[in-house]
Amino acid sequence: MKSATKTIKQSSQKLELLESLRGIAALLIVAFHGTELFRLKFNQPFLLSLFEFGDSGVDFFFVLSGFLLALTSFKYIGHQNSAKEFLIKRCERIYPFYWFVSLCIIPVYFLVPSFGKGYETDITVIIKSLLLIPQEHAPIISAAWFLSHLVFFYFVFALVIFIPKVASKLVLAGLSISAFVALGDIFSGFQLWDKTHFLINFTFSYYNLEFLAGCLLGTIFKTNQLKKSVSLSMLVVGCLAFCLSGLLEVYVLQISAETTGFSHYYEFMTYGLSSILIIGGAAFLEKSYRISINRWFVMLGAAAFSIYLTHYPILSIFTKAMQVAGLNRTSYYTVGMVLACVMTVLIGALAHVYVEKRVAAMFRNRLTYKKA
């Protein structure tokens, strides 16, 4: 029993390059929503629409989340009694700060209904949002749809820990069905199912495959090593493919604003696969070779979760402030939105340092106190 506990408590290697890349992905998402709000409120392209592909940062997050799960939590497999510990640690990472942000924002929709779309004051929507249960509407914090997938993966993984033989067979069956359905959807011209039904979209989302691809990459990473030249080539090719896919999407295919089956398939085949190359290349490169990363980039990566959760409401507030100011030149609006994006990132980083860490510590201490 002692040896099992010791195995579970082994610390994982700190991959600072990967942490920095997570921060850059968060910046892409901020720029994407800045572009979206700029077009919505001012009917103008923001920075030549360059960051309309910025939502691809989510594809990177899905692959990275699967990779980190394999890296930090596969040690629990084989220790059935650790399923509860795994779930608590995962929920401790997500829920406390998410609840804090949600409880700050929910009253705004009651006081100023014009900020929302009408469903934010529905008690059922609020409860499902707080618990991150998939629903027809977006969560109160719209960006939290990503977290609903994570929570689902964590519960599935907890089942694999608790009943490994049965759960593993179910996961394998689910993967096979998902792959079959995805292929069928492609060959049918993306007409296989009704894309408007939220539960079907959630179940057969390409994001699930990205997460699982990240898990597979993490498993390979733990037991293998690559030459520096191979790792570097993976990283460079992945970055180039990611950026070129974005330019192709925005300026040639022009599918940035679409939610069709083809657009999702394009994201999976371009950003998903290039994210695998980026994460794999960065991780293997840093596994054997020490890389000096500027501490500000590392801090940005550490604050990515906080930035991701807080950026949209903060950007919305800045945008409304610019509207109220009544500036009459596009150049003023552009400078204002650039500053708004910068301030949004800074506020998110400060929230990580002064709120997210403390809220998580309070939650953790509370649980420790109860156990004692």
Concatenated DSSP letters for 264-280?
HHHHIIIIIHHHHHHHH
pLDDT higher than 50, residue 333: yes
Tell me the three state secondary structure of residue 334: helix
Locus of tokens 């150049």: 331
Q: At 48, is the pLDDT very low, low, confident or very high (cuts 50, 70, 90)? A: very high
pLDDT interval class at 264 (50, 70, 90): confident
- Residue 66 and residue 154 in contact, taking contact as beta carbons nearer than 8 Å: no
Decide: 352 and 307 in contact? Cβ < 8 Å: yes
- Whether the Cβ atoms of residue 306 and residue 356 lie closer than 8 Å to each other: yes
pTM for the model stands at: 0.90
Task: Provide the pLDDT for residue 6.
Answer: 44
pLDDT at position 66 over 90: yes
Q: Which tokens is 49 given?
A: 């629409």
Measured CA to CA, the distance from residue 246 to residue 47 in angstroms comes to 14
Query: Comparing 57-61, 215-219, 256-260, 267-271, which segment has the lowest mean pLDDT?
Result: 256-260
Model confidence at 222, pLDDT cuts 50, 70, 90, reads very high
Q: Supply the pLDDT for residue 140.
A: 92
